[in-house]
């Protein structure tokens, strides 16, 4: 380490660190989100809602279709297989605000059109198989053994072998 002269050190502007302080939050998931996450947790199923106006199928589901501005209430099941719409591989280190820890890199991050859905489910995509990720690739979910009602009940998606 470079030596700093006492005078220089004295004149150096100070910083104040927030240390380990953190502020916990508790967010409402809502009726639609809860229904989706319960089905994921208990039955490993992906639910979706369809807009009665434009027929667009949303998974994860929201109560409102944005473009039509209409309430949606037609539930259906989609997936669990899907197609990779786009993706990236994260290679730089950053602090995950959910955990306060550095996220382990590299990892795949993808947008997945679940079969029967019109929207893109975003999640981690496993790089373990060594197969090059590509747009149009078929993927499937890998679930955690212990599930708590959180999208992290899916560990990640992985390429469907031989597809």
Partner 1 sequence: MANRVAIVGVGQTHHTGRRLDVTGVELINEAVQRALEDAQLTRDDIDGVVIGNMDHFEGINGVECWSILGNGGLNKPTIKLTTGGTTGSTLAMGGYHMTASGYFEKLLVIGWEKNSESDTTGAITTAFDPIWDRPVFAGAVSGLAAEARFYMNKFGVTEKDAARAAVRDRKHGANNPYAHMRKEVSLEQVMRSPMLADPIKAYDMCPRTDGACALIYAAEGAAEKICKTPAWIHTVTNRHLYSYLSDTEWYPLVSLQEAAKEAYSNLGVKEPLKEFDVMELYTPYSMANLSWIEALGLAKQGEGARLIEDGATEMNGVLPINPSGGVISTNPIGATGLIRAGECALQIMGRAGARQVQGAKKALSTGFGGCMWSDLLIYGADKPN
Q: Which residues bind partner 1 (CB under 8 A)?
A: 12-13, 15, 18, 25, 27, 29, 33, 58-60, 62, 66, 85-92, 94-98, 103, 109-111, 119-124, 135, 150-152
| Shortest separation between residue 23's beta carbon and partner 1, angstroms | 9
Residue 45 or 62 having the CB closest to partner 1: 62
Residue found under tokens 């220089």: 8
Contact (CB, 8 A) for 59 and 90 = no
Contact (CB, 8 A) for 19 and 30 = no
Residue 52 or 66 having the CB closest to partner 1: 66
Residue 141 CB partners (closer than 8 Å, separation 6+): 44, 46, 79, 80, 123, 154, 156, 157
79 closest CA partner among 147, 5, 31, 141:
141
| Shortest separation between residue 148's beta carbon and partner 1, angstroms | 12
Residue 34 or 74 having the CB closest to partner 1: 34
Residue 111 or 159 having the CB closest to partner 1: 111
């Amino acid at each position: 380490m470079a030596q700093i002269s006492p005078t220089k050190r004295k004149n150096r502007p100070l910083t104040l660190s927030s240390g380990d302080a953190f502020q916990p939050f508790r967010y409402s998931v809502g009726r639609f989100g809860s229904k989706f996450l319960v089905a994921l947790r208990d039955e490993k199923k992906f639910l979706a809602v369809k807009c009665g106006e434009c027929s667009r199928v949303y998974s994860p589901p929201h109560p409102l279709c944005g473009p039509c501005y209409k309430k949606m209430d037609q539930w259906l099941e989609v997936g669990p297989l899907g197609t990779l719409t786009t993706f990236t591989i994260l290679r730089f280190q950053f602090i995950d605000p959910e955990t306060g820890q550095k996220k382990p890199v590299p990892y795949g991050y993808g947008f997945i059109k679940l079969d029967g859905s019109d929207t893109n489910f975003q999640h981690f995509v496993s790089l373990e198989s060594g197969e090059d990720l590509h747009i149009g690739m078929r993927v499937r979910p890998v679930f955690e053994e212990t599930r708590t009602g959180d999208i992290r009940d899916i560990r990640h998606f992985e390429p469907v072998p031989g597809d």
